[in-house]
Structure 1
Amino acid sequence: MKKAFVALFLFCFAVLANAELKFKNLYSDGLILQAGVENAIAGYANPNAKVEIGLNFSNNAKKTVFAKSDKNGKWIAKLPKMPSKTELEIKASSEGESAEIKNVKVGQLWLASGQSNMDWHFDRGPKTPEYEKYLKDICDGLEKLKGNVRIYKTRQKASFEPLENIEGKWREPDLKDIKSFSALPLLFAKYLCENLGEPVGVIVSSWGGSPIERWIPREAFGYSDFTKSALKRDAERVEGWQERQKIFLEQRKIWLEKNNTPELRRQNRKSEPRFDYDPFDRSTPTPAMLFNGMIFGIYPTVPKGVIWYQGESNDKRANEYGDLAKAMVLSWRKYFKSEFPFYYVELANLGVPQKVPVEGRHSWGAVREAQGAVLELPKTGVATCADVGDEKDLHPPYKDAVARRLGNLALTQIYGKGDAKSALSPCFKSAKFNGDNAEISINNDWGLRLKKGKKSISGFAARGDGKMKWHFANAEIKNGKIIVSSPEIGRIQAVRYGWAGNPDLCIENKFSMPLRPFSTDKGSILDYMDLNSQKAELSFYPE
């Protein structure tokens, strides 16, 4: 027995002492590296081992860099700066072992994240001949780009602890498999590639139905009272979840035994046991679960920028969203050690067209305004989608317009291509109240005008007398400002525009960029105050 134990110990020691030389999963065939910077590349080897990384370029040039693994066998190497369009293979060698990455290109590397509209695949589109032709046209365009558009889709994984490796692989889309790709990241990459003439890669880390809290590292929740409150609330929910889960599973087993046919289960669905709070459920706002499982492992790769499409799952807590979003951006920049650009998508229009002056609590008007808090940070931008969605579908199947708007932000602000003004939507700047009217000043107001196809200005609402009773209001454009008035209100105290799930947007600038929905009374906070408080004793709904 003793000899057997010794033999087993020596075998285990030999396995540990001869760790497989390999790259982290992100560094695999088809990799896109960022042009003009010292890219980091990382992997695993024996502890305290010297690692040689050879770069073999397509023009037959060669270069070698070195790294040394730490006591846990992890190593990181810095590659020399390389110009865009460089093609190469990378080979790591250490103590008689080797690992290789083929078909590597240098270009522009981005990160795309968020919930379902960022994750949404082409295969969920309409089953029509028009849609099939649309996909073929996309593939024809990709064919001309000769494999210079590549996507790395990370496996969806939640974790309490940070995971060093994300799971996935680099892929190049074609007509046979395009339906398995996330639409918006691919269209964004294609648009950049066409306009830059460079390879473009996008790492897609997204998960449908996920609240923003799941994407924020825990240490970032000290940002504000709102974020601290969110963390405390979650801690109370998570405490004892495993014990509660055991009870739930036992109760559900009994329920299934009693309701042992599909008919009985349908009849007694209301009595089916429910699990109150599962931190691994994608819809629960458990902090950091997706940052740990799907963002943390991307490092030491640093993206050129981030595109973000999320917010629908936070519509019941819009008053918290602005601080949470800022905390996320700041924490990601701190983690990646880069103040990279961050561009988000303003929520799309959805539902019946706006029929009331102001929609009540949980209106997407509040979420859109809260999203805008990100713009208080440097190097941020917004691509509005409130005019290019699908009123009948939470997931608009045609995402070309928003991909172009995100792409134009990047092209004009980062790459210096085109007029920077053309990528910016008009948005609220300030309000001056003059008795029976309000003078609204607008940012990015170049050539402010009635939107094409509209006969008159609409979508404006006003209230007075300190009451939350809104009325549709008149509005006109004068000298680049919007003058709002209402015969039903004596003294206007607040104005809102497009405050609805499917807003009535009627104003644009000369670049055909729509005026974004807004409020002058910080509706994303006011509408979500505790209804039992004295400050919120009035109705939030229009007459």
Structure 2
Amino acid sequence: MLSTVTILLVLSAFASVLSAEEFRFSSYYGNHMVLQKAPAKAFVWGYGQTGAKVVVSLSGANKEEQISAKSAVINGIWRAALKPVEAGGPYNLTASQSITNSSITLTDVLFGDTWLCSGQSNMAFTVGQVINATEELALASKYTNVRIFQAALEKSEEELTDLARVEVPWSRPTAKLLGGKAFTHFSAVCWLFGRYLYETLKYPIGLVHSSWGGTPVEAWSSPRALHKCGLMNSQFLVKSNFWENASTKWNSSVLWNAMIHPLLNMTITGAIWYQGEANANYNRDKYNCSFPVMIDDWRMAFHKGSGGQTALHFPFGFVQLSTYHKSDSQDGFREIRWHQTADYGFAPNKRMKNTFMAVAIDVPDERSPWGSIHPEDKEDVAYRLVLGARAVAYGEKNVSFQGPFPTQAMLKQDFISIVFDQGINAIPDDGFFFEVCCSEDKTCESDNKWLPVPIEKCGFDYVLVSKPKCDADIIGVRYLWTDWPCNFKACPIYSSDGLLPAPPFILSITNQ
């Protein structure tokens, strides 16, 4: 005779089988969603009865119903790529299964561009936390064609096929959804990026938010990506950015497994990323490998998962870190900022093609109620990301999206001339922003070899800084090479229109 426990286990297993064969879309799909527009094909998938046939059809937007795709259910899962659909809507998306004669219809479906937003707490920072939250939340309902979706916070030791939970199903934006509980509801950077982008493109934008505060890049990376950087799968402690002397335990790949891998089948336009704080003191010197490799790996995985519909080299935007402690101590932020660019100092570059970067070093926030590591000004960050997206992702001409970057530094009689790749808006300073390396052994690793020098003169595309008084060789120059170099929007060098700051850099000095 079977025990009660055995009967319950059998019933549980039977229920799992039934659940797996229940005819439905996967958790990512729903009413009000945005699917990727033409020329790409939107990829849809779900669960059904093995051996059945599934027909996916589209209707609405003054069009007669058209059969868009057919799929067989294999091992309880069906997948289909729709025919390309131009931006617009709304449509009804219906999936019908043979054998059971079942059908499911999703309503108010739009076609446009879908962007994935990920990272740690500065990406998780909600619209309700920004400095002008009341005004931003009041605008939400006016942008009905910018739709939002958010994955719930979940970890997994194995790659999940589908999301374990959904925090915000596909929805039209509301003040309640955007402004919810701090760091756990909808991302301010993600929302503002989508809203600003919509104002330029004038067609639907879908925003998929999947981020978690205090997380290192290793948790978001697949094992194969970590292996390429010599990083083994392991459990590690990461210093908390919320509480002093506190750490959080993370396993490698647990967020890749639970919060990225389940999304791979969808077709996306691109991704934006705000992360790096957690790696300032963990595998910091590996970040110039781990971050670019994660981007490469995500691109490959989304391309494969969507049946080739997501571009193999889809555009990837990221935020270069702002600031944390306003003191002489180093938090590792200056190194991480450099490593975020694969040590080029700018993006895109030869190692990180089709990327774009929003510099945030000039928007510190010492009085942020969320701690100085979480600046309240997310509008400037999102605006700079959108400039990058317009130029890199959409190929818009005459869009300035990069601050000035030096092309050469030359030693002259009493000055060092630093020439930039564009016109600059600069002001002389008192010697806290530029440093010059004086070294007898021609190395500059030690901070005590770097001497501060002031800007003496500014030209259309150059600055002259003082030559330091030293008996050793003058080797290099660096700019903004501290964790907190500037006050709010008060760095000394910007683009000629005054909008985009020059990013931190380090550069060898050549003789005249």
TM-score, L = length of structure 2: 0.81
Assess, with a 3 A threshold, how the Cα gap between structure 1 residues 430 and 455 changes in structure 2: closer, same or farther: closer
Give the structure 2 partner of residue 509 of structure 1. Answer: 495
Deviation at 1:417, TM superposition (A): 4.0
Q: Which amino acid aligns with 1:204?
A: H
Amino acid at match of 1:414: A
- Residue in structure 2 matched with residue 26 of structure 1 by the alignment: 28
Q: Which of 310, 321, 324 matches 2:290?
A: 324
Q: Secondary structure at the match of 1:203?
A: strand
Q: Could you tell me whether the CA contact under 8 Å between 1:363 and 1:499 is conserved in 2?
A: no
Letter in 2 for 1:287: S
**Contact 1:438–1:492, Cα closer than 8 Å, also in 2:** no
Aligned residue among 31, 42, 50 for 1:39? 42
Q: Of residues 341, 349, 355 in structure 1, which corresponds to 2:315? A: 341
Distance 2:74 2:297 in 1: 28
Deviations 1:279-308 (A, max 9, x none): xx9x44532111111000112113211111
Distance 2:290 2:142 in 1: 41
C-alpha deviation, 1:474, in angstroms: 2.8
> Which has more radius of gyration?
1
Q: CA deviation at 1:330?
A: 0.5
Q: 1:521 to 1:368 in 2, by over 3 A?
A: farther
Residues 462, 455 of structure 1: alpha-carbon distance in 2 compared, 3 angstrom cutoff:
closer
The corresponding residue for 1:534 is none
Is 1:400 the counterpart of 2:379? The answer is yes
> Match of 2:308?
none
Structure 1 gaps, min length 5: 126-130, 242-269, 275-280, 523-543
From 435, 439, 449, the equivalent of 2:425 is 449
Instruction: Provide the residue aligned with 2:438 in structure 1.
Output: 464
In the superposition, relative to structure 1, how do residues 492 and 56 fare at CA in structure 2: closer, same or farther (>3 Å)? same
Q: Is the 8 A contact 2:430 2:454 kept in 1?
A: no
Describe the shift of the 1:304–1:99 C-alpha distance in structure 2 as closer, same or farther (beyond 3 A): same
- Decide which of 390, 394, 411 is 1:411's aligned counterpart: 390
Secondary structure of the residue that 1:423 maps to in structure 2? coil
Aligned runs of 1:128-277 on 2, under 5 Å? 134-145=132-143, 147-166=144-163, 167-168=165-166, 169-180=169-180, 181-223=186-228, 227-228=229-230, 230-231=231-232, 234-235=233-234, 237=235
User: Which residue of structure 2 aligns with residue 308 of structure 1?
Assistant: 273
Q: Which has the higher helix share?
A: 1
Structure 1 residues 43-122: aligned runs within 5 Å: 43-94=46-97, 95-122=100-127
Decide which moves more: 462-471 or 363-372.
462-471
Matched ranges for 1:490-509 at <5 A: 490=471, 491-504=473-486, 505-509=491-495
Contact residue 120 and residue 214 of structure 2 kept, 8 A: yes
Gaps of at least 5 residues in structure 2 are 181-185, 238-244, 304-311
- Judge conservation of contact 1:142–1:149 (CA < 8 Å) in 2: no
Structure 1 residue aligned with 2:307: none
Between the two proteins, the alignment pairs up a number of residues equal to 455
Quote the Cα distance in structure 2 between the aligned partners of 1:124 and 1:508: 28
Q: Which amino acid aligns with 2:338?
A: E
* CA distance in 1: counterparts of 2:376 and 2:330, whole angstroms: 27
What does the per-residue CA deviation read over 1:105-156, in whole Å, with 9 as the maximum and x for residues that have no partner? 111110011000001123445xxxxx5xx334324433333x1111111111
Structure 1 position 380 matched with structure 2 position 363: no
Give the structure 2 partner of residue 288 of structure 1. 253
Deviates more, 1:460-469 or 1:184-193: 460-469
Q: Cα distance, 1:430 vs. partner? A: 4.3
Question: How far 1:404 moved relative to its partner?
Answer: 0.6
Alpha-carbon offset, residue 318 of structure 1 = 2.6
Residues 214 and 291, structure 1, Cα contact 8 Å, conserved in 2: yes
- Distance in 1 separating the partners of 2:253 and 2:148: 24
2:218 maps to amino acid = E
Deviations 1:482-508 (A, max 9, x none): 433333224321221111121132111
C-alpha spacing 1:112/1:436, structure 2 compared with 1 (3 Å): same
- What is the match of residue 507 of structure 2? 520
More strand as a share of residues: 2
What is the CA RMSD across the aligned residues, in angstroms? 3.1
The residue aligned with 1:257 is none
When residues 364 and 60 of structure 1 are mapped into structure 2, their CA distance, relative to the original with a 3 A threshold, is: same
**Secondary structure of the structure 2 residue equivalent to 1:61:** strand
User: 1:201: Cα distance to partner?
Assistant: 1.2
Deviation at 1:11, TM superposition (A): 11
Once residues 127 and 60 of structure 2 are traced to their aligned partners in structure 1, the CA distance between those partners, rounded to angstroms, is: 35
- Whole-angstrom CA distance in 2 between matches of 1:174 and 1:448: 41
Counterpart AA for 2:45: A
2:309 matched residue in structure 1? none
> What amino acid maps onto 1:506 in structure 2?
P
Offset from partner CA, 1:169-204 (integer Å, 9 cap, x none): 112222344312221111111111112111111111
Check whether the contact 1:122–1:182 (CA below 8 A) recurs between aligned residues. Answer: yes
**Which is further off, 74-83 or 56-65?**
56-65
2:333 paired residue number: 364
CA contact (8 A) 1:431 1:438 kept: yes
What is the CA deviation profile of residues 34-78 of structure 1, one whole-angstrom value per residue up to 9, with x for unaligned ones? 111111100010112100112112314211134334441111111
Q: Is the 8 A contact 1:474 1:486 kept in 2?
A: no
1:370 partner letter? H
Contact 2:127 2:191 in 1 (8 A): no
CA displacement 1:18-49 (0-9 Å, x = unmatched): 82100011111111011111111000101121
Deviates more, 1:73-82 or 1:178-187: 178-187
Give the secondary structure class of the aligned counterpart of 1:328: helix
Q: Which moved more, 1:92-101 or 1:14-23?
A: 14-23
| Change in CA separation of 1:457 and 1:471 when aligned onto 2, cut-off 3 Å | closer
> Deviation of residue 87 (structure 1)?
1.7
The Cα offsets for residues 439-461 of structure 1, whole Å up to 9 and x where unpaired, read as 43434x2x11315xx76675101
Q: Residue deviations 1:396-418, cap 9 Å, x none?
A: 12211111111111123333446
Which residue is 1:247 aligned to? none
Deviations 1:346-384 (A, max 9, x none): 1113333x7xxxx66533111111111164321011100
